[in-house]
Amino acid sequence: MNTALDDGSLRQLFSGARTYNGFIDKPVADDQLQAIWDLAKWGPTAMNGLPMRLLFVKSAAAKEKLRPALAEGNLAKTLAAPATVIVATDFEFYGRLPRLFPAFAGARDLFAGNGALAEATASRNATLQGGYLILAIRAVGLDAGPMSGFDNAKVDAAFFAGTKVRSNFLVNVGYGDAGKVHPRGPRPDFSEDCRIL
Please report, as residue ranges, which positions from 57 to 76 form the binding site for a copy of itself (by CB under 8 A): 57-59, 61-62, 65
Residue among 185, 163, 159, 192 nearest 91 (CA): 163
Choose, by CB under 8 A, the member of 75, 80, 112, 175 that binds a copy of itself.
175
By the 10 Å C-beta count (0-12 exposed, 13-18 middle, 19+ buried), 179 is classed as exposed
User: Is residue 50 involved in binding a copy of itself (CB under 8 A)?
Assistant: yes
Choose, by CB under 8 A, the member of 70, 107, 118, 136 that binds a copy of itself.
136
Select the span of 74-82, 105-113, 179-187 touching a copy of itself (CB under 8 A): 179-187
Question: In sequence order, which ranges of 30-172 are alpha helices (DSSP H)?
Answer: 30-40, 60-66, 72-80, 97-100, 107-112, 115-139, 152-159
Phi, psi values for residue 85, rounded to 5°? -90, 125
User: Is residue 52 involved in binding a copy of itself (CB under 8 A)?
Assistant: yes
User: Is residue 162 involved in binding a copy of itself (CB under 8 A)?
Assistant: no
Choose, by CB under 8 A, the member of 79, 80, 112, 128 that binds a copy of itself.
128
